[in-house]
Amino acid sequence: MSAMILTLALSYAQLALAAALVLACARMMRGPRAQDRVLAMDTVYVNAMLLILVLGMRNNSVFFFEAAAIIAILGFVTTVSLAKFLLRGEVIE
């Protein structure tokens, strides 16, 4: 019984995260400002990371968790550098 509930919960989580990913991608394409696009990109990488984590839970594989950690690190660095670029006009001082 609990395995069935877990399977249903993971399926619902995958659908919800996929919908959030699509909506964030649409916001990233539409804009209207650069700050909105950076925020949408931040949301896209967080949703992608969570989707990969749910997939890892579903398949019982450690490799998905490593991929999610790499996405989180790269997404954080990208968001920080883009925010610094938008704020100051340069990334490296």
Measured CA to CA in angstroms, residue 37 lies from 23, 26, 55, 83 at distances of 12, 10, 27, 11
Is 36 inside any structural domain? yes
Q: How many CB atoms lie within 10 A of CB 84?
A: 14
User: Is 35 part of a structural domain of the chain?
Assistant: yes
Q: How many CA atoms lie within 13 A of 57 on its CB side?
A: 15
Q: Exposed/middle/buried for 49, CB within 10 Å: 0-12, 13-18, 19+?
A: buried
The answer to whether position 29 is within a domain reads yes
Residue found by looking up tokens 């649409």 in the block: 26
Is position 93 within any domain? no
Number of domains the chain is built from: 1
Residue 19 pLDDT: 97
Q: What is the pTM of this model?
A: 0.86
Average confidence score pLDDT of the chain: 92
Write out pLDDT tens, residues 11-40: 999 999 999 999 999 999 998 998 899 999
Q: What is the CATH number of the domain that holds 7?
A: 1.10.287
What range defines the domain where residue 27 resides?
Answer: 2-88
Residue 24, domain member (yes or no): yes
